[in-house]
Amino acid sequence: MYHKLRLVLVINVYISKKINNMGSILIASTGRSGSTFVNNILNHLNIKSQHEIRVNKHDINDIDKNLSFCGWKFIWFDSLDRFDNILHQVRNPLDTIASAMTHDNILFDQLFSFMLSKNDPYFNKCYCKLLELPHTLYKMIYRSMIYWYFLNIHIESITSNIYKVETLNDINGFKQFCKMINYNDIVTDEQFSEISKLFKRERIHIDVTFDLLNKLDPHLTSLIKTKALDYGYK
């Protein structure tokens, strides 16, 4: 079920041309963390953007280096030095876990292959527990728990520039995001009103709670809660 790293990668990605001296940007995030929402924002700001493209890892350097990316797959490539700015987008863990649990396996394959290659003792323990679980709803939830925690930890090793996707629904949070990507055009109240309509709490399949996560794995739940607090979630 959990395959080796695949040659052809499905990438949740936004591609945008250099404008406003933004340089080349990578917005790294877990799957189901609001990629469609942010992609729509970039298009609304007249930043040429594309979502979910396919790219071969061996051809990535042939892509125009003036283009920027956002998503959950590009971070596994070795050419991150091609970017002038790297941001880490996070989403509430309960919402992400609830949404990601029904995603296809490719969402999880790269993380699991990467972490297994690192031989991290705690990840290996969680992974073995996952394999032992019967194929039930709880296994899907536990897989998403592992995914949210370890992928965000990995992205933290790439960049310390973190923002919550939920803050983009607030004018002050949105302006801060524009500063982070060096977008200097003035965003009017009318523009933000239209942008805020793009925000939707989508793909929440079940009501995931910390009590439920705690029943599956108290220690991992504690780590997720601590990391969520670090990101500013209550």
Task: Split the chain (234 residues) into runs of 10 and give each run's mean pLDDT.
Answer: 34 41 77 83 72 58 64 65 85 94 81 92 97 92 96 93 93 92 86 79 75 97 98 94
Q: Which value, in Å, is the radius of gyration of the alpha carbons in the chain?
A: 18
Do residues 114 and 76 make contact, with C-beta atoms less than 8 angstroms apart?
yes
Closest Cα to residue 95, out of 222, 186, 208?
Answer: 208
pLDDT for the residue numbered 115: 93
Pairwise CA distance, residues 111 & 100, whole Å: 14
CA atoms within 13 A on the CB side of 221: 14
For residues 211, 203, 179, 23, the Cα torsion angle rounded to the nearest 10 degrees is 120
Supply the pLDDT for residue 173: 93
The helix-helix angle for 121-132 and 137-156 (nearest 10°) equals 160
Give the CA distances from residue 122 to residues 133, 149, 207, in Å, rounded to whole numbers and listed in that order. Answer: 17, 12, 27
**pLDDT of the residue at 197:** 80
pLDDT given at position 221: 98
**The domain at 8-231 falls in which architecture?**
3-Layer(aba) Sandwich (3.40)
Measured CA to CA, the distance from residue 176 to residue 172 in angstroms comes to 6
